[in-house]
């Protein structure tokens, strides 16, 4: 179940906070099938300990949303668990699970493979521990991703990542990382030419996640270091009768529209803002003060963000699939 | 005039294609003032040479949108100048010019500086020529940006960039680069907590531009290399009575909402796909063939993308300003 | 409480179905105040008797949504209480209650009266029992509306309406009616000139309610019977320094924009489709069959629709108020 | 051509103002076919005589948008031809002409007839001249509608309408009327169950037109005078294998969704606000004054509104068709 992949308390390297994340389906399902009407799902915040957050009532936690919420709304719920908490993402995972199911059905669209759309996210970096270039040339299996607590399918690297997270945790500190996401089975033609390019909506979806600082698709920032003659993906006739590209520096889209190749993008996550060390800050009166993080937080949220990245990817793809079905006489589910 | 900054033919390092880009204002202006009704502007494509594109009728240009358009729509206008051309961005610059004017007015919002919002984009990288770290600590002036044809305010670097572009052009090749954009004077409170985070909408806006491959805000991908204790922006009381942060690794937003610090982000551009060299490709029948780029294209589009990045930034900020005014009793223009 | 005005079982002339309609507020409220984040409210369907609807599994009820749902979605939840049930409107009333509170605050906008916006809906017709022309020239008080079970402030008429509903019920039949809604305290300037005219959005809101068949504003259909010289609302200087109209055939909007006069519109409701008489129909195999309505239904839903009409009015007005605040430098809450 | 049906100057009973309404297609068409990209069309306002409107600079015309525009925007273009002019509708007709073409193609959807969707609007009332009940039981042909200048397919009534318009014009006055619109060939399943009901979007579309005061579908306001047992449309097996209804008081939708029967609705138009008689009014300083209408205006705009009603109908239907194609695996164009 997708929600369990996001849930805290999965291993010793993530937050011990227990969120059961039990989903109650309120509507839209009848006798085991969707009815076409909206599916409402409810996940209640359990295991809240409001007392643990008392100090945050008057002090702004650095690199959290405390100050901006206060300034924007003139009021803020200082207890954890609100919309500025990553707990917000449980709804995304629940919705994404449904989107994934629909995408897995494939459909009659040109280029859609029989197995449907498959989305695989995984860690390629924790702090300065990075999967070696070229080590993951194949589409990683879900089993390989889920084999370790960090969700990095490159076993040797995953062990070093886990060590690093443990070391950082023992110092009351935190680290960030990078998630790569690949998608195969996407038909040619998803995405709009101008504002709603497929990569634009993927970028928005990823930057809408807590703690993200960057997005790149295909060659990404490294692409700026190449020449056009090196970077261009030349077209070749495919064995499947489709047009393909010899390389995939485009990352699966050209002109904002999927080209049938693997969609490949990466998302950068900053280190968790909550650390168990004293930090200077300002209180709600504007006076300098100090804050000591307590609570139960992740030294590294990135492994738990893997299903969230997949969920948002599924949602973006399904939205564009629906748009294309609306526009195009020959495109259907 | 903003449009002239985007226009081709500005210097010898960009495309010699002449686009006059004369704007005709069709509606929304009466006696020199906006009427509150939509402002329609029309820029006609002039200096088109359809004949120059005849070869593209049947061949897909590598890393262009030819193939994806054909697959998506079942038809395509093979001549340059359509929506898959960067000429599409002229509309963005025209709209952005109006957004900039409104933002420059500032407004009564808390944190808005008297001079209003100021947006400054500039190049920090062309190919592997990069502005040295820390060399641009101050907010660059428009004059410094516009001083050279590459729009890099670091003079020594700009000269090397120009050399590189000339060298690459002489080989019929192309290069990409990176644009940094900074914004000051943004009031605290712009952006929505979940899906429409300010950085999410900026990311979407940037990835909606032709040739972009990446977006990062604040610490960006490099932030993944830091620890939480290094990365956190501690709050300090400001001399202006506002809360400020001692560092700005957040890049001006926290929890998706502007915090009153400078907004700082970077956008990666791939090398121009059109090169004046023979490339293998596939024709509309799916057969392998060869294509020789002709036409008049930029060896490096990045300098001309500077006003486009600024325009999209202005549009995103103004949209969020309007949303905040709609939501918030004390926030107005 | 608004929900109690909509709830069944209020008197002997409405459905005896008991829906407690207890609202659970899931988010958006903290320590008695809204936090600016979305307010989620949950009302569970109680007192469902799924068995009572068994016959509808295979038979389409005339003038219900059974057939169209089946055709649209290929599946349908045949039990009552879904989105094709008027129970769906409980969410509208809950949201409208909040919109009403905000509108009642008034605001700094030109033309907003100190008491804020006041919305009053009431019955003017049940079957062929109609409030006499001119009998309700004043803005009816809430007390007068709520004084009788039919929510018609004209006492003599309300008694005849109640009699008629009782008579119709005893025959297992049903009747419809007309609701008039008046709004005072609306500032000048709400509404957009072209597609999103204020009356257009009101019309949509009203026709989105179950059982509605018509909408008219101001003079409405009767306006077609007048000449321009009779129909035009001439402007007169108001004692309050504002511009006013001598008559109000426009119904409070001109050119799609509120003009500061009372907004006055009427909504036609068809007779309840569920009747306790045998009716011929078709089953899901397309064969002719007969259906006998049972269940507990209203012989006339119109009195219970009064708070729903008010709720949708409040939602439309607040949306436009927010749009105007977003657009207009001098307009705020 | 649709635009010519809307154009002034078609006969002696409409405005003699000459608007050539020549459409320039700016984009989206290539070699005679649509490219899938947006179709931009430009119609310039010709035959403007700004001088004729000088008096309106300082005086508010009764029942026009002059005052509300001034109040909303703080500025207004007092010359005719802006968005408060019915000339705005030319864009709707141009867009509707394309929507009609697509709808006429029909499609593979269940219930779509081979001939595709056919939309026919026509006058049933001018002032108090009304087509006799039951006189138009058949779907009127386009030829019958276009046979007379008033676009009423009932010949005897149309002649009386024309007389009335001539009489009213000679007195410098104006009249309104009612348009009925019927649509056949609509597949079952268009429309959303709650807010975006098909009739709700039709109501909005119609009330977004200048001079409209009411909308009713099927039985409409008269439906409030019926009992449920009279009003219900019982289902019957159709000869075509589809489910049909014996009557059509629903007007083609049930539960907000098209049921495959004819869509039938009516729209009320007020008398033209511009009359050639002196009227009292207020000037921009708030002082009482008098205004004498001049200019060249229609004594009755309703005949020219027929193609506009059809255009908006086509746009709404096509939008819902696209939505349904996006949602539904088996529904396509």
Q: pLDDT category, C47, cuts 50, 70, 90?
A: low
Average pLDDT score, chain A: 89
CA distance A200 to B211: 12
Domain span holding position A321: 48-327
Q: Which of A134-138, D113-117, D229-233 shows the lowest per-residue confidence on average (mean pLDDT)?
A: D113-117
C325 shares contact with chain B (CB less than 8 Å): yes
For residue B332, the model assigns a pLDDT of: 56
Q: pLDDT category, A112, cuts 50, 70, 90?
A: very low
Q: Which of B46-50, B291-295, C71-75, D136-140 shows the lowest per-residue confidence on average (mean pLDDT)?
A: B46-50
ipTM, two decimals, is 0.94
The answer to whether the beta carbons of residues C221 and D214 sit under 8 Å apart is yes
Q: Which of A11-15, B288-292, C249-253, D310-314 shows the lowest per-residue confidence on average (mean pLDDT)?
A: A11-15
Compute how many other C-beta atoms are within 10 angstroms of the C-beta atom of residue A46. 11
CA distance B50 to D132: 60
CA distance C208 to C86: 11
Quick check: A288 pLDDT over 80? yes
Q: Which two tokens stand for residue D239?
A: 């000869």
For residue A110, the model assigns a pLDDT of: 46
Domain count along chain A: 1
Percent of chain B at pLDDT > 70 equals: 88
DSSP states of A123-174: EEEETTEEPPTTTT-S---HHHHHTSTT--SSHHHHHHHHHHHHHHHHTT--
Q: Which two tokens stand for residue C2?
A: 């608004």
For residue B111, the model assigns a pLDDT of: 44
Phi, psi of A305, rounded to the nearest 5 degrees: -80, -10
Q: Which two tokens stand for residue D117?
A: 């969707």
Q: Which of B2-11, B248-257, C303-312 shows the lowest per-residue confidence on average (mean pLDDT)?
A: B2-11
For residue D194, the model assigns a pLDDT of: 94
Q: Is residue B43 included in any domain, yes or no?
A: no
Element (H, E) at B243: strand B243-245
Q: pLDDT category, B15, cuts 50, 70, 90?
A: low
Distance from CA of C31 to the nearest CA of D (A): 32
Task: Report which of D325, D19, D49 is spatially closest to residue D187, judged by C-alpha positions.
Answer: D325
Give mean pLDDT, residues B245-274: 97
Q: Which two tokens stand for residue B91?
A: 């509309």
The secondary structure of residue D309, as a DSSP letter, is H
C193 shares contact with chain B (CB less than 8 Å): yes
Quick check: D109 pLDDT over 60? no
**Largest separation between any pair of C-alpha atoms in chain A:** 68
CA distance D309 to D124: 14
Q: Is residue B3 included in any domain, yes or no?
A: no
For residue B110, the model assigns a pLDDT of: 46
Q: Which two tokens stand for residue B139?
A: 């907010």
Cβ-based neighbours of A263, under 8 Å, separated by 6 or more: A181, A182, A183, A184, A186, A198, A202, A217, A251, A252, A253
For the stretch D51-63, pLDDT in tens is 667 777 889 999 9
Q: How many CB pairs under 8 A join B and D?
A: 39
Cβ-based neighbours of A141, under 8 Å, separated by 6 or more: A120, A153
Give mean pLDDT, residues C303-325: 96
Q: Which of A104-113, A159-168, D177-186 shows the lowest per-residue confidence on average (mean pLDDT)?
A: A104-113
For residue A18, the model assigns a pLDDT of: 55
Q: pLDDT category, A15, cuts 50, 70, 90?
A: low
- Nearest residue on chain B to C189, judged by CA atoms? B36
CA distance D33 to B77: 10
D64 vs C83, which has greater pLDDT? D64
Q: Which of C36, C37, C325 sits opposite B325 (nearest CB)?
A: C325
Cβ-based neighbours of D12, under 8 Å, separated by 6 or more: D149, D166
Q: Is residue C19 included in any domain, yes or no?
A: no
CATH of the domain at B108: 3.60.150.10
For residue A50, the model assigns a pLDDT of: 57
Distance from CA of A201 to the nearest CA of C (A): 23
B75 shares contact with chain D (CB less than 8 Å): yes
Q: pLDDT category, B107, cuts 50, 70, 90?
A: low
Q: How many CB pairs under 8 A join A and D?
A: 31
For A:249-308, CB contacts with B below 8 A are 249-251, 253-260, 268-275, 277, 279-282, 286-288
Q: pLDDT category, B284, cuts 50, 70, 90?
A: confident
DSSP collapsed to 3 states, chain C = CHHHHHCCCCCCCCCCCCCCCCEEEEECEECCEECCCCCEEEECCCCCCHHHHHHHHCECCCCCCHHHHHHHHCCCCCCCCCCCCHHHHHHHHHHHHHHHHHHHCCCCCCCCCCCCCEEEEEEEEECCEECCCCCCCCCCCHHHHHCCCCCCCCHHHHHHHHHHHHHHHHCCCCECEEEEEEEECCCCCCCCCCCCCHHHHHHHHHHCCCCEEEEEECCHHHHHHCEHHHHCCCEEECCCCCEEECCCCCCCEECCEECCCCEEEEEEECCCCCCCCEEEEEECCCCEEEEECCCCCCCCCHHHHHHHHHHHHHHHHHHHHHHHHHHCCCCCC
Q: Is residue C60 included in any domain, yes or no?
A: yes
Distance from CA of B85 to the nearest CA of D (A): 13
CA distance A125 to A160: 10
For residue A301, the model assigns a pLDDT of: 94
- Chain A residues near residue C27 by CB distance under 8 angstroms: 82
CA distance A75 to D215: 44
CA distance A176 to B228: 8
Sign of CA dihedral A12, A15, A20, A23: negative
Q: Is residue C76 included in any domain, yes or no?
A: yes
Quick check: B275 pLDDT over 80? yes
For the stretch B200-242, pLDDT in tens is 999 999 999 999 999 999 999 999 999 999 999 999 998 888 8
Q: Which among B203, B265, B316, B324 is the top mutation candidate for probing chain A, defined by the most A β-carbons within 10 Å of its own β-carbon?
A: B203
B142 shares contact with chain A (CB less than 8 Å): no
Q: Is residue A13 included in any domain, yes or no?
A: no
Is A214 in contact with B215 (Cβ distance < 8 A)?
yes
For the stretch A70-100, pLDDT in tens is 999 888 888 766 777 888 899 999 999 999 9
C-alpha dihedral (D61, D62, D65, D66), degrees to nearest 10: 30
For the stretch B143-199, pLDDT in tens is 999 999 999 999 999 999 999 999 999 999 999 999 999 999 999 999 999 999 999
Quick check: D289 pLDDT over 80? yes
For the stretch A210-252, pLDDT in tens is 999 999 999 999 999 999 999 999 999 988 888 999 999 999 9
Percent of chain D at pLDDT > 70 equals: 88
Cβ-based neighbours of C41, under 8 Å, separated by 6 or more: C23, C24, C25, C26, C91, C94, C95
Average pLDDT score, chain B: 89
For residue B48, the model assigns a pLDDT of: 61
Q: Is residue B137 included in any domain, yes or no?
A: yes
Question: Is D324 in a helix, a strand, or coil?
Answer: helix
Q: Which residues of A11-38 are buried (b: 16+ CB within 10 A; e: fewer)?
A: eebbbebebebebeeebbebeeeebbbe
Instruction: Write down which chains contact chain A via at least 3 CB pairs under 8 A.
Output: B, C, D
For residue B112, the model assigns a pLDDT of: 47
Q: Which of B141-145, C197-201, C263-267, D2-6 shows the lowest per-residue confidence on average (mean pLDDT)?
A: D2-6
Q: Is residue B168 included in any domain, yes or no?
A: yes
Is B77 in contact with D26 (Cβ distance < 8 A)?
no
The answer to whether the beta carbons of residues A263 and A183 sit under 8 Å apart is yes
Q: Which of D37, D328, D332 sits opposite A193 (nearest CB)?
A: D37
Give mean pLDDT, residues C288-309: 88
Quick check: A287 pLDDT over 70? yes
D229 vs B27, which has greater pLDDT? D229
Quick check: C112 pLDDT over 60? no
- Chain A residues near residue B273 by CB distance under 8 angstroms: 228, 231-232
Q: Which of D35, D76, D82 sits opposite B76 (nearest CB)?
A: D35
B331 vs D297, which has greater pLDDT? D297
D34 shares contact with chain A (CB less than 8 Å): no
Q: pLDDT category, A8, cuts 50, 70, 90?
A: confident
Percent of chain A at pLDDT > 90 equals: 65
Cα R_g (chain B), whole angstroms = 21
For residue B137, the model assigns a pLDDT of: 87
Task: Report which of C213, C269, C138, B61 is spatially closest to residue A254, judged by C-alpha positions.
Answer: B61
CA distance A288 to A300: 28
For residue A3, the model assigns a pLDDT of: 78
Element (H, E) at D121: strand D118-126
């Amino acid at each position: 179940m997708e929600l369990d992949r996001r849930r805290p308390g999965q291993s010793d390297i993530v937050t011990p906070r227990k969120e059961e994340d039990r989903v109650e389906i309120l509507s839209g399902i009848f006798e085991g099938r969707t009815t076409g009407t909206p599916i409402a799902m409810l996940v209640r915040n359990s295991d809240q300990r409001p007392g643990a957050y008392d100090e945050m009532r008057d002090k702004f936690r650095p690199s959290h949303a405390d100050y901006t919420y206060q300034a924007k709304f003139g009021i803020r719920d200082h207890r954890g668990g609100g919309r500025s908490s990553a707990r917000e993402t449980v709804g995304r995972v629940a919705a994404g699970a449904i989107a994934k199911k629909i995408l897995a059905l494939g459909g009659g669209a040109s280029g859609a493979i029989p197995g449907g759309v498959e989305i695989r996210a995984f860690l390629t970096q924790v702090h300065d521990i990075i999967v070696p270039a070229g080590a993951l040339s194949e589409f990683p299996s879900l089993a390989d991703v889920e084999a370790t607590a960090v969700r990095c399918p490159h076993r040797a690297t995953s062990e070093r990542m886990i060590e690093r997270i443990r070391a950082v945790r023992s110092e009351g500190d935190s680290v960030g990382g990078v998630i790569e996401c690949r998608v195969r089975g996407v038909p040619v033609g998803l995405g709009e030419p101008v504002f709603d390019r497929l990569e634009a909506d993927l970028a928005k979806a990823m930057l809408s996640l807590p703690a993200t600082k960057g997005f790149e698709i295909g060659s990404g920032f490294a692409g700026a270091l190449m020449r056009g003659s090196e970077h261009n993906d030349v077209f070749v006739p495919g064995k499947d009768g489709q047009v393909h590209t010899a390389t995939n520096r485009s990352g699966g889209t050209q002109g904002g529209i999927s080209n049938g190749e693997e969609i490949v993008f990466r998302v950068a996550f900053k280190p968790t803002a909550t650390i168990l060390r004293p930090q200077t800050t300002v209180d709600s009166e504007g006076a300098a003060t100090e804050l000591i993080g307590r609570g139960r937080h992740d030294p590294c949220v990135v492994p738990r963000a893997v299903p969230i990245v997949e969920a948002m990817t599924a949602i973006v793809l399904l939205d564009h699939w629906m748009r294309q079905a609306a526009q195009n006489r020959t495109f259907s589910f």
